Amino acid sequence: MADRQSPPWQQEPDAPRAELPTVAEMLGHTLEELDNARNGLSEAAAWLRSDWSPAGSSLTAAESAARSTARAEIATAKAAIDRAKAALYEALP
């Protein structure tokens, strides 16, 4: 699924109508987008694990709390994506 395409209802109104996807195509594109979302969350989490400048400086209490909250929410979102993907894999024809 190399070419990224929009679902038929998101296409321009005057554009020629694309054929509706098969169930397998619909589920496959959905899985691909979920993979993209999960990869984006992994990248965001990597930024939160990054060092910062000035080197050796500490985060403020607010920054530390925000970082912890964001990391927890990212983990929760990734788990939700994993559950959605598992459900879709079970339904693949």
Q: What is the pLDDT of residues 18-67, one digit of tens each?
A: 789 999 999 999 999 999 999 999 999 999 999 989 998 999 999 999 99
Range of the domain at 90: 62-93
Under 8 Å between Cβ of 71 and 42: no
Backbone angles phi, psi at 16, to 5 degrees: -60, 140
Q: Can you give the pTM of this predicted structure?
A: 0.78
- The domain total for the chain is 1
Q: Kindly state whether residue 90 falls inside one of the protein's structural domains.
A: yes
**For residue 52, what are the contacts with CB-CB under 8 A and spacing of at least 6?**
59
Which DSSP state fits 56?
T
Q: Kindly state whether residue 68 falls inside one of the protein's structural domains.
A: yes
Q: Kindly state whether residue 20 falls inside one of the protein's structural domains.
A: no
Q: Kindly state whether residue 89 falls inside one of the protein's structural domains.
A: yes
Q: Kindly state whether residue 72 falls inside one of the protein's structural domains.
A: yes
Q: Kindly state whether residue 92 falls inside one of the protein's structural domains.
A: yes
Dist CA 44 CA 41 (whole Å): 5
